[in-house]
Structure 1
Amino acid sequence: MDLSNEVAHDFPPFFRVYKDGRVERLLGTETLPPTTDPLTGVHSKDITISPETGLSARLFLPNTTPDRKLPLLIYVHGGAFCIETPFSPLYHNYVSSVAAEANVVAVSIHYRRAPEHLLPIAYDDTLAAIQWAAAHRKGDGPEAWLNSHADFDRVFLAGDSAGANIAHSMARRAGVDERLLGLNILGMVIVHPFFVNDEPGKLMKYIYPTMSGPDDPSFYPATDPKLRSLGCSRVLVVVAEKDALRDRGWNYYESVRKSGWGGVADIVETKGEDHVFHLFNPKCEKALALLKQMAAFFNQD
């Protein structure tokens, strides 16, 4: 029997799985090569972190002097844990614009995605990528851009949607065991974060079959007794008024503030906009305002 065209699982608009095991992604499959942006001068290149797993990243370096140290931004892309990459037009262009506006060195992580690689692999890959970056602290790591230009006293995490969820998980792990990441995370920006305030839906049950349920700290930070140990000193939460995840972002912000955590948390709400609007319309006034707010966060004293 030919199973190649028979659908076993269908999760529009993200992906479908056929009975022969083939996965068809419905969005986020286009890619751009690394380049030098002719307008901003930001350089980019791709590196392999683990040949065994395929873990990789795209690096972004602003046009700077040879000996200047810049803040290090570790960026985690969104896409429901299953679509998009750092190499897609949405994320290549956006992280490049952040690197230019904020004058930061950026590591945009290409974690393994569901459904071929079920959660929590995306978390494990992100942790491994951060540990790889941390290996450059003394200026003798495998990547020259990080050795020469990354200021490891000013390290930030950021991500949107599912990537914001992963970024939070990394900051939480850093707070529980400060040796785990190998880096001192100064601050974190989470944009339109994907948290779940009720029972996981069909997609999450499929791509994260070992999720512990309503108390899983990766998806229910409000119930996390270790939230007060969040491993950074600054958090900026970004929500959008028309986003279905808006209330979850606000809930996260309030939970962090009430947890007993000793850092400073702020929240920005963009009126009249929907989920990750800044990726789809990066030149609009509100997206540019958000970009400047993020840049200010990464460069505050």
Structure 2
Amino acid sequence: MDSSTTSELVLDFFPFVRVYKDGRVQKFQENDFVPPGVDPKTGVQSKDVVISPETNVSARVFLPKNTDPNQKFPLLIYIHGGAFVIESAFSSQYHNYLNSLVAEANVIAVSVDYRLAPEHLLPACYDDAWAVIQWVAFHANGGGPEPWLNDHADFGKVFLAGDSAGSTIAHYTVVRAGVDGLGSGLKLVGLVLVHPFFKNDEPDKLLHYICPDSSGFDDPRFNPAANLGLLSKLVCTKVLVVTAERDFLRQRGLTYYEALKNSELGGSVEMVVTNGEEHVFHLKNPNCENALTLLKRVASFMN
């Protein structure tokens, strides 16, 4: 194969990923890895669990500092962002954020590490998130494989949250729970979408490539606002949508918020707009005043 063929681009999503005609994938942001353990600042403990050995889907479980062996906490299932192609539940960015959020909200959390595109085309990440929520539900009767969930999770107060592409996955996971059901013992109370990465009517080369079976503009996995009927399938009773003034995806979050208000969702919809900030600023600069304010707002939503 000549060099002109091997160097020909079929997807250029710099500075995240490039895919070449010969199948080579080039990623520009390598995920670092932080081992689980006890966070010295918050006292939050964490451990890693394998959800599906066949697909290598894993999660990091976080337990807040406590002295009561019988204490129950609300349960948060968190899905990281990264445009479907980068980041990890085990990176320093998400490990540190979950430590802070778990401590502030006083919740137990399961942070999903799903398969990334384009090595794994969509809907792999959606299937992985669904596998994790089913794994969590298996603990509702106290007989699951993870003792922290059996002993400390309040399965009547379960929240899903995500940022950017993780918001996209989290939303559709809650829709799927409403359509397919989760069985008894698990109650999804709330959904938190931070700077959601939803599709609009503009062409999106990335989504077209990593999800070849997409139906286009009205695909409910990427454009909830085009599917008001499915919005009513959300099984949670309240939703928090977070946007930022300078976020390039802000309008998509606003459109989603308005669509939810006009749907038949039987619950409350809240919105938070952070002035002067950009996309996922709270992850890039977690100690700034606006990030700390947002952390407290998300925590209060779960309490």
**TM-score when normalising by structure 2:** 0.94
Aligned counterparts of 1:242 and 1:199: Cα–Cα separation in 2: 19
Deviation at 1:2, TM superposition (A): 7.7
Aligned counterparts of 1:253 and 1:270: Cα–Cα separation in 2: 15
Q: CA RMSD in A?
A: 1.8
Q: Is the 8 A contact 2:140 2:185 kept in 1?
A: no
Deviation at 1:228, TM superposition (A): 1.6
Q: Is the 8 A contact 2:274 2:290 kept in 1?
A: yes
Q: Is the 8 A contact 1:160 1:191 kept in 2?
A: yes
User: Cα deviations across residues 228-254 of structure 1 (Å, max 9, x unaligned)?
Assistant: 221100100000000011111111111
The equivalent of 2:239 in structure 1 is 235
Please show how residues 1-301 of structure 1 align to structure 2 within 5 Å.
1=1, 6=7, 8-9=9-10, 10-64=12-66, 65-179=68-182, 183-224=186-227, 225-299=229-303
Deviates more, 1:279-288 or 1:218-227: 218-227
User: Cα deviations across residues 116-153 of structure 1 (Å, max 9, x unaligned)?
Assistant: 10011110110001000110001110011111111100
Q: State how many pairs are aligned.
A: 299
Aligned counterparts of 2:184 and 2:100: Cα–Cα separation in 1: 26
Aligned counterparts of 2:60 and 2:254: Cα–Cα separation in 1: 31
Deviation at 1:220, TM superposition (A): 1.6
- Secondary structure of 1:296 counterpart: helix
- Secondary structure of 1:265 counterpart: strand
Deviation at 1:34, TM superposition (A): 1.0
Structure 1 unaligned regions, length at least 5:
none
Deviation at 1:23, TM superposition (A): 2.5
Aligned counterparts of 1:287 and 1:170: Cα–Cα separation in 2: 26
Aligned counterparts of 1:186 and 1:31: Cα–Cα separation in 2: 31
- Secondary structure of 1:226 counterpart: helix
Structure 2 letter corresponding to 1:195: F
- Secondary structure of 1:196 counterpart: coil
**TM-score when normalising by structure 1:** 0.95
Deviation at 1:19, TM superposition (A): 4.9
Structure 2 letter corresponding to 1:44: S
Aligned counterparts of 1:54 and 1:281: Cα–Cα separation in 2: 31
